[in-house]
Amino acid sequence: MSKIWQSYAAAPEDFFAENDGLSPVMAQLLYNRGLKNEEEIEAFLDPESGFNDPFLFKDMEAAVNLLIDKIKAGEKIIVYGDYDADGITAAAVLMETLRILKAKVEVYLPDRVSEGYGLNRDALDQVIAAGAKLVITVDTGIRNKEEVAYAKSKGLQVIITDHHTLPENEEDLPDCLIINPADRRNAYPFRFLAGVGTSFKVASAIVSRSKLSDEQKHYLLERLLDLVAIGTVADMVTLMGENRTLVSRGLEVLNNTKRPGLQELIKVSKLDALRRLESWNIGFQIGPRLNAASRMDHANNAFALLICEDKQKAEVIAKELNTRNGDRQKITETAVGEARAQIDKQFAAGEKFFLAAVSDSEKIWSEGIIGLVAGKICERYYRPTIVVTHTEDGFKGSGRSIEEFNLIEAIEEAAASEDGLVDKYGGHPMACGFSLLSQEKLDRFVLKLEEISARKLKGINLVPKIKIEAEIPLSAVNEGLLAEISLLSPFGQNNPQPKFSTHGLKIIEAFYMGIDGQHVKFRLADEEGFSLWAISFGGTETYKHCEVGDFVDLAFFAEWNDFNGRREIQLKIIDLKKI
């Protein structure tokens, strides 16, 4: 599918004048990130500047007091988490903190398939039977009003810590203490923490009230930041604001982590030879291996790895997760092929604004991979997409969306259109999960989403867009530019690695790499003869029509290539258009 190149609006002249200490390219990059004044720019360029006060959450004081009471009374506390990398790291952060403060604490992670997302009554019954007096959730619970009421009816106290979107109506909130940065009733200034970031704020608050020395407090919180960085990046929340601080500092801790589990995970991911781990290593290598635990079996394995203190045991678990991740990749690839066959038939029948793929009842897709499948279908066809699989109780689905379509709003509208249409749902504008109880309800649900999408997306050109941050000459790609780009890291949501474009380059060399020649490198030169290598991994088929002597326009990342002790500037091809 062809892509549209969209350039950011040029910063106004007075912005460049006010920031004349920055290069024009750097000033434009900062402007693109919404940084409009000196104070915002300084805070962004100094992500070590500090954290917000956790007691700005309206219920934090009461939550900390309740936790302290339970610790002093020697009563059991259960940290109830989620099964993804964010939920696992959030649970580890809070459990580790509470144990150091002498709490009787255990962790409960639900099974992705048999229990699903959020609190459930069977789990609460187990918690009560185990003698727990308090449940504190991490990365979950904000839509579990009925389950919280059930827990309280059984004498179990509950604290919800979550970061997901709140129910539209306040009366649908759980009746308990709530720590959620998305809750506009808070005075907390940053609304986009991940689940693990929210958990870290609770840890920070309770540690601040402990009798530990200032040095001990600092050490305890600092050593948690590797987990915070992993969960924050893996959950794909914004890397602006406080999340940028958390991940920046967390990467420093991660690159020197003392956790045997993370050391072994880094090793099996073949990252131990790198000079430095970056946020993309978490997003594409570490996070998927942690998520593979619940996708293929149970999240307890990944959690055990994070808290493991024995090197040999950590090595065994890390290798197991690595194997499971490989298995996950294979079954995902198969399911994507089957889903694409359905989608292609839908497109053959006419224009589509919304895509839905449903597993065959005789060949059921694993619940653990349907979100990944939805993401790949959405990316390929550039349409909001749901992928649904059969379960014993009906159907479970996962959705992914495009920037022009708020998926969770559409799900809420569809659910509100008919009582009982959707059994459970939750998520973000770009991703969701849901369950339905019958084929009839699934059919009506899909029709409703198709209706909503057609209404909201009518007239919009549904083609992938590449946001070009700046058009620059090839000769501007030098050591100085790469040094400036490095100041913007860590990269992630809302702070992407900068994409540049340049035009009228000539291909003067072509070189193919890989076992099957699947990767291609072009030597590209401008009209002055300045040239650089540009690489596309897996791009041989895509750019097979480009030959030596052709002229092209290029969208690219600029980065260092370190290979065999040599370091040189390299362009990574995002898109290449033959002129």
Q: Give the CATH number, domain containing residue 570.
A: 2.40.50.460
pLDDT for the residue numbered 414: 96
Tell me what pLDDT residue 510 has: 96
219 and 98 within one domain? yes
CATH number at residue 176: 3.90.1640.30
Least confident interval from 326-330, 382-386, 425-429: 425-429
Categorise residue 359: left if φ over 0, alpha if ψ from -120 to 50, beta otherwise.
beta
State pLDDT tens for residues 549-563: 999 999 999 999 987
Asked if residues 48 and 194 have their Cβ atoms less than 8 Å apart, the reply is no
Instruction: For residue 48, name the pLDDT band (cuts at 50, 70, 90).
Output: confident
Tokens of 190: 């940053």
Task: With respect to residue 412, please indicate whether it lies within any of the assigned structural domains.
Answer: yes
Whether 437 and 512 share a structural domain: no
443 and 572 assigned to the same domain:
no
Of the candidates 144, 183, 161, the one whose C-alpha atom is nearest the C-alpha of residue 86 is 161
d(CA 505, CA 527): 7
**Over the stretch 292-318, which tens digit does the pLDDT of each residue have?**
999 999 999 999 999 999 999 999 999
Q: Quick one: pLDDT at residue 565? A: 77
Residues 451 and 470 occupy one common structural domain: no
The reply to whether 428 and 520 lie within a common domain is no
User: In total, how many domains does the chain have?
Assistant: 3
CA nearest 446: which of 340, 319, 352, 377? 352
Amino acid making up residue 488: L
Q: Is residue 186 assigned to a domain?
A: yes
Residues 425 and 549 placed together within one structural domain of the fold: no
pLDDT at residue 46 greater than cutoff 70: yes
Residues 330, 310: Cα–Cα separation, whole Å: 31
- Point out the domain boundary residue: 224, 243, 272: 224
Residues 425 and 494 in one domain: no
Establish if 114 belongs to a structural domain.
yes
Region of 60 (left: φ > 0; alpha: ψ -120 to 50; beta: rest) is alpha
Question: Are the beta carbons of 148 and 176 closer than 8 angstroms?
Answer: yes
Q: Which of 198, 224, 250 is the last residue of a domain?
A: 224
- The stretches of 369-406 forming alpha helices (DSSP H) are 370-381
Q: Residue 564 is encoded by which pair of tokens?
A: 């065999």
Both 396 and 494 in one domain: the answer is no
Q: Does 309 fall in a domain?
A: no
Expressed as residue numbers, the domain containing 135 is: 54-224
Side-chain-side CA neighbours of 302 within 13 Å: the count stands at 36
Within a domain: 297: no
Domain end call among 406, 432, 457 = 457
Handedness of CA 338, 385, 191, 148 (dihedral sign): negative
pLDDT score of 362: 86
Same domain, 492 and 357: no
Question: What's the pTM?
Answer: 0.91
Q: What is the CA radius of gyration of the chain?
A: 25
How far apart, in whole angstroms, are the C-alpha atoms of residue 536 and residue 472? Answer: 20
In a shared domain, residues 61 and 131: yes
- Distance separating alpha carbons of residues 85 and 89, to the nearest angstrom: 6
Report the alpha-carbon distance of residue 32 to residue 494 in Å, rounded: 10
Reported as a single tens digit per residue, the pLDDT across 481-524 is 999 999 999 999 999 999 999 999 999 999 999 999 999 999 99
Residue 359 lies in a domain: yes
pLDDT in tens, 193-216: 999 999 999 999 999 999 999 999
Six-digit token pair at 102? 């002498």
Instruction: Quote the mean pLDDT of the chain.
Output: 95
Domain shared by 108 and 146, yes or no: yes
Per-residue confidence (pLDDT) for residue 504, from 0 to 100: 97
Cβ–Cβ under 8 Å, residues 181 and 188: yes
- pLDDT tens, 338-354? 999 999 998 888 889 99
Contact 369, 331 (CB under 8 A): yes
Check whether 415 has a pLDDT greater than 90.
yes
Non-local CB neighbours of 509 within 8 Å, separated by 6+ positions: 521, 522, 523, 548
Q: What is the pLDDT of residue 273?
A: 78
pLDDT for the residue 130: 95
Nearest alpha-carbon partner for 428 in 192, 232, 185: 192
Q: What is the end-to-end Cα distance of the chain in Å, rounded?
A: 17
* Residue 1 confidence class, pLDDT cut points 50, 70, 90: low
Residue whose C-alpha is closest to residue 454's, from 382, 348, 353, 381: 353
Q: For residue 137, what is the enclosing H or E element?
A: strand 132-137
Q: What is the CATH number of the domain that holds 370?
A: 3.10.310.30
110 and 143, same structural domain?
Answer: yes
Residue 542 belongs to a domain:
yes
- 162 domain-assigned: yes
